[in-house]
Amino acid sequence: MISGIGADIELITRFKKKFANKRFFELIFTERERDYCEKKKEPIISYAGKFCAKESVIKAFGKKIFFKEIEIINNQKGIPEVYIKGKLNKSIHCSIAHSGEYAVAYVIIDKNGR
């Protein structure tokens, strides 16, 4: 049974300006997320996708949860997995996409944990 749905979209060009401050990256993203994004050819695109995923998780929960409590880590197959407070949460399903100037993410929380 679905207990929450969240979606977010970001204009990557606006995101570049918004995230020019290195301190902001440290407040929003975990060290593992930053390491992953920085290894990419265009890190800002990966950052934008992970930011959208975090926003989507917050919307799906429908209650206050902090960015740093949410960690989006891609598994060996490249599929984003959601960790809450350091623990993998298999009941949260996440999809991230990038196309042109946009990054988008969609999250579904499955109450049954499938």
Pick from 62, 57, 59: which is nearest to 72 by CA?
57
Catalytic residue positions?
A: 59, 98
The two structure tokens encoding residue 18: 């918004």
Sequence-ordered list of residues with C-beta below 8 angstroms from that of 111, at least 6 positions apart, any chain: 1, 2, 3, 91
* Total Cβ atoms within 10 A of residue 33: 24
